[in-house]
Structure 1
Amino acid sequence: MARIESKVRELVGSDADMRDAVETVLERADDGEVAWADVRDELTSGQWGRLIEKGILVDGDEGFKLADADATRAGLEAPDEDSGSASATSTSVDTGDSSWSKYDKGAAVVTVGLFLGYSVSEVRDVIGGVMDVFLGPLATMLPFYAVVMVLALATGLYSTLLQANLMDMEKMGKYQERMKEIQKRQKDAKERGDDAALEKIQEEQMEAMGDQMGMFKEQFRPMVWIMFLTIPVFLWMYWAIGVGGANAQPHVTLEPLVLPMIGTVAWKDAVLGPMQAWIIWYFLCSMGFTQIIRKGLNIDMTPSSA
């Protein structure tokens, strides 16, 4: 069974101690069957569990048995020239641990709660009032278009720094490189008509799906912190401009806004579909400042395996 051979090769390739564990199970298997009591002096419970999890050991008549003893032995041998070496290179890529800390999870929960401010005026008023303690003095010193520029600069700065520090570009680059290499080997195997190699590669693709979920979590982790810090700023702008209801009144002095290629508009005028002028102005400032910050700090957000 090619799949059993591939699983054994992956286990021993990722953990050198698993080779001794597999050899012990092979040695002590009686007519293909082995019990935990037969090997517990040589194997840890974790190693025993991994053999069962991978399907190398399956239920037997009196305990467990090897799913395929010959394939298990073959998995301990060096891979062949055509497909094994490439497979070993691929499975040796360590995409690391993308698990979130308790702080990441806490920030995610709070962020979900902050989203209520967009639809619940009471929540928006509370957050807006609290943020006004810090941002109100700025609004009295500068015209509001300049206040939005300052906020766009601040959010662009910490967004860039959070992405640079919380996203591992090298790890993501390794994952992308691994997937490209798997696809290349799959194409070559199809051209050769090598069904055995295709079966191994398909199994490897299924196992790589777990890495893909890890990469999604890796990408979303900085977004949680960015939203955690940015949503209160947006809710303050909602509150300050008086967005969110027919009776909502602005809490700052608002002069007409001049947008590029559009001209003079009111802050709450719909400019691009339903998007109001203040949102357009914020995004224009944010995108411009973010590019300047990345260039100035020499921060590259492109995944790289180098």
Structure 2
Amino acid sequence: MPRIESKVRTLVSDDDEMRAAVETVLERADDGEVKWLDVKGDISSGQWGRLIEKGVLVEGEEGFELADADATREGLEPASASASATSSGSSSDDDSSWSTYDKGAAVVTLGLFVGYSWKPLRDVIGTVMDVPLSPLQEFLPFYAVVMVLALATGLYSTLLQANLMDMDKMSEYQERMQEIQERRKEAKEAGDDEALDAIQEEQMDAMGDQLGMFKEQFRPMVWIMFLTIPVFLWMYWTIGVGGNATAHHDLEPLVLPLRGQVAWTESVIGPIQAWIVWYFLCSMGFTQIIRKSLNIDISPTSA
């Protein structure tokens, strides 16, 4: 738990008595729990209370126990040594978080983007996608087909985000950055230039965490785009969107709320065409329903 390590380092910074208190608790808690009576003669009640307040000590069955003994020991080490170990560990985690399949999907996704502007590729993908999707269009009006596609993309997007994003790791990233900002604010208010310099160095080290959080967020997006871009290119191909494009199916006009009957390629919100407005309305609605129904929350939560 990097946040425990950071909290311990903050507590013992320039406070030898607090460092001694943490070491005493570590020594007495080797067998598990530690009670106030076990350390009463060696640390003050204020120091004991701060350890509980900061979450270094958490309630156990009969007394208190260390939330993370290893992280607590690391918090007693010099910042440079711990930061180096953390940086090395983060680098290893980031390298392993993206598999060969993830990287391959990213490359293919970049190639699929070309289809938006290059008609030959759009025609190829549209023709291939039309094989499984044209039977659906025979039974349903096109607006309903778009609804089905929006439902499908919303479902797999939610599942991919829930399964490919490490929410615990992202929570740790956010908590660490928030804690650094709070300590920076306190040091600035106290006029402690030495502490500000140390916190500035810690912020620079934490930039690796920011990169790690970005990679965690982008990983499911690669797979979402990998699956969704062909769907969009099929709609481009079917409706006839883009330069020199022609519609490949006869489509009835769309009826939009507050707008009435419009052509699929008619601009309804600035330059945004009717088909994309309809798709996003359906997608946003279905995605919210799916998340509520499956009780999936893709936002990081504090531990």
What CA deviation, in whole Å up to 9, does each residue of 1:51-75 have, x standing for no partner? xxxxxxxxxxxxxxxxxxxxxxxxx
Which amino acid in structure 1 is aligned with residue 298 of structure 2?
M
For 1:260 and 1:221, locate their aligned partners in 2 and report how far apart those are by CA, in whole Å. Answer: 35
Correspondence for 2:34: none
Aligned-partner SS, 1:97: helix
Amino acid corresponding to residue 296 of structure 1 in structure 2 = S
1:129 corresponds to which residue?
Answer: 127
Contact 1:114 1:231 (8 Å CA) reproduced: yes
* Equivalent-residue separation in structure 1 for 2:76 and 2:241 (angstroms): 67
Residues of 1 paired with 2:77 and 2:165: CA distance? Answer: 34
> Compared with structure 1, are the counterparts of its residues 123 and 77 closer, same or farther at alpha carbon in structure 2 (3 Å cutoff)?
closer
Q: Which residue of 2 aligns with 1:165?
A: 163
Pairing partner for 2:250 from 233, 238, 253: 253
User: 1:140 deviation in Å?
Assistant: 1.1
Deviations 1:162-216 (A, max 9, x none): 0001111221111111111111111222222222222221111100001101111
Please list, as runs of the form range in 1=range in 2, the aligned pairs for 1:100-179 lying within 5 A after superposition.
100-179=98-177
- Which residue of 2 is the match for residue 276 of structure 1? 273
The correspondence for 1:98, drawn from 94, 100, 114, is 94
Deviations 1:108-153 (A, max 9, x none): 1100100111111000000000001111111111110000000000
Q: Structure 1 residues 250 and 78, CA, compared in 2 at 3 Å: closer, same or farther? A: closer
Deviation sequence 1:262-290 (CA, Å, 0-9, x none): 11101111111111101100000000000
Q: Which amino acid aligns with 1:154?
A: A
- Asked if 2 retains the 8 angstrom alpha-carbon contact of 1:156 and 1:286, the reply is yes
Find the partner of 2:228 among 221, 227, 230. 230
Determine the structure 2 residue equivalent to 1:23: none
Note closer, same or farther for the CA distance 1:77–1:236 as it changes in structure 2 (3 Å cut): closer
Over the aligned positions, Cα root-mean-square deviation in angstroms equals 2.5
Instruction: Classify the secondary structure of the residue corresponding to 2:297.
Output: coil
The 8 Å contact of residues 139 and 252 in structure 1, kept in 2 or not, is answered as: no
List aligned pairs for 1:208-247, cutoff 5 A. 208-246=206-244
Contact 1:170 1:303 in 2 (8 A): yes
For structure 2, list consecutive stretches of 5 or more residues without a partner in the other structure.
Answer: 1-5, 10-73
Q: For this pair of structures, how many residues does the alignment match? A: 224
SS in 2 for 1:140: helix
Percent sequence identity is 75
Aligned to 2:188: 190
8 Å Cα contact 1:241-1:249 kept in structure 2: yes
Contact kept? 1:98, 1:215, Cα under 8 Å: no
Q: Which residue of 1 aligns with 2:287?
A: 290
2:297 corresponds to which letter in structure 1? Answer: D
Pairs within 5 Å for 1:36-75: none
